[in-house]
Amino acid sequence: MARRTRKAGIVARFGPRYGVRIRRRVQEIEEGLKHRHACPRCAAVSVLRRSTGVWECRRCGYVFAGGAYRPIVTTSFKREVAEAVEKPEPKEKEA
C-alpha cells in the first residue's frame, strides 16, 4: 500500500476529501500548533499550547495569553485591533 503521509503530512487523515487548498491551510495551522515556539521571557524554544489562546513555557513555567494558533499574534492583526480602538466615536448632534 502507498504511503499516505509523504506529501500530505498531518492532514493525511482526510484523504482526498475537502480539496487541496483547505487541507494545506489546515496543515499550516496544525503544524504551528504542534511545534515548539520561543519563550518571550527566557527565549528558550520550549513554549507549548496548553489550551485555546493559553501558552506555557516548559522551561521557566511562564504562562501567557497569545493567539489561538500561534503564541505571538502577527503585527497586521495588532494593527487592525489598534485602529479599531483608536477610531473616535461619532458625536451626537445637540438639539
Q: Are 41 and 79 within one domain?
A: yes
pTM of the model: 0.64
* The pLDDT of residue 7: 74
Q: Are 18 and 5 within one domain?
A: yes
* The pLDDT of residue 44: 93
Residue 93 lies in a domain: no
pLDDT range class, residue 5, cuts 50, 70, 90: low
Residue with cell 489561538: 68
**Which residue type is seen at 76?**
S
Domain count, the chain: 2
Q: Are 78 and 61 within one domain?
A: yes
With a cut of 70, say whether residue 90 has pLDDT above it.
Answer: no
Residue 91 lies in a domain: no
Residue with cell 513554549: 47
Which range marks the domain in which residue 28 is found? 1-34
Segment holding 54, helix H or strand E: strand 54-57
Average pLDDT of 26-37? Answer: 89
Q: Could you tell me the three cell numbers for 20? A: 487541496
User: Tell me, what CATH number does 44's domain have?
Assistant: 2.20.25.30
Tens-digit pLDDT profile for residues 47-85: 999 999 899 999 999 999 988 888 887 766 667 667 777
